[in-house]
Amino acid sequence: VSDALSRAQGLEQVGAKVAHELKNPLTGVKALVQLGLRSPAEAASHERLEVVDREVTRMQEIIQNYLSFNRPLQSVNPRQVALGPLVSDTLLVLSARADEARVRLYARGDASLEADPRRLKEALLNLVANAIEATPAGGEVVVEARELSGDDIELVVRDTGRGMPPETLRRIGTPFFTTRDDGTGLGVVLARAVIVQHGGTLRYESEPGSGTKVLVTLPRAAKRSGDVARAAGG
Ligand code: ADP
C-alpha cells in the first residue's frame, strides 16, 4: 500500500512538472502563431516554422514520457521478442537526431526474451537518446544484446561521450534529476521502471571523459504476475 501511495504522490509531482515543462514551448508556439495571424508572410518563414516544429516535437516527447511513466505496472504485456530487430528499430527512430549530432549508431548481437516490446523500446529509446545527447560530434553509441549463461540476457548501451562525475552517477534515475537546461529528469526513471517491471536491473558505469556504459539485465522468461499469467493463458 505504501508503495502505491508513494507512487501516486510521485505521479502528482511528475504531473506538476510536466505542466511546467509544457508551458515554455507552448508560449513560444503561440507567439509565432499570433505573429502569423497578424502578418502571414513574415511568420511563414522557414526558420520560424522550424522553431514551431522543434517546439511541438519537444512537447510530444514530454507528453510521451509522461504517459509511459503513468501507465500502470500491470500493463506489461510480454511475448517472445528478438532484441536484435528491436534495437535496430529503436536506433532507426533516433537516426535523424544522431546524424544531426554527427554521432554514429551501431547495433550488435542478438538475444531473445519474453518482454513487452513496446515498453522495452520506450526504455531503450530514453537510454540511447541520453547517450547521443552526451556524445560529441565524431563519437559513437553502441547497443549490444547478448545471452548470458544463466536465466538472463544483457543489453549494453555504450557511448564515447562526456561521462559522469560521481555526484551525477549517484543521482541519476532520481525523478527530475537533470543536468540539462531542457531536460525533464524522467528518462532514466522511466527506463528503470520498465526494466524493474520486467524483473531486470539497470546499472551505470561512467567516469568523466571516458564515456558511459549502461548495463541492463533482463530475465529470459517474464516474471508472471496474475495479470500476465492470464494474458499468456488466453
Ligand atoms: P534528462 O535526459 O531529461 O536530463 P534523464 O533521467 O534521462 O533526464 O537523465 C538524467 C541525467 O543523467 C542527464 O541530465 C545527464 O546529466 C545524465 N546522463 C544520462 N545518461 C547519460 C550518458 N549516457 N552520459 C552522460 N550523462 C548521462
- ipTM attached to this prediction: 0.98
Lining residues, ligand 1, CB within 6 Å: 126, 130-131, 134, 159, 161-162, 164, 168, 172, 177-180, 183-189, 212
Distance 54 CA to ligand 1 centre (A): 20
Site to probe by mutation for ligand 1, drawn from 130, 174, 186 as the one with most ligand atoms within 8 Å of Cβ, is 130
Contact of 198 with 76, CB cutoff 8 Å: yes
- Has this prediction a pTM greater than 0.90? no
Q: Which secondary-structure segment (H or E) carries 67?
A: helix 46-70
Ligand 1 nearest atom to the CA of residue 130, by list position:
20
pLDDT in tens, 133-188: 999 999 999 999 999 999 999 999 999 999 999 999 999 998 788 998 878 788 89
Q: Which residues of 83-102 are buried (b: 16+ CB within 10 A; e: fewer)?
A: bbebbeebbeebeeebeebe
Helix (H, G, I), strand (E, B) or coil at 182: coil
Cell numbers 504531473: residue: 15
Write the residue with the smallest CA distance to atom 23 of ligand 1. 131
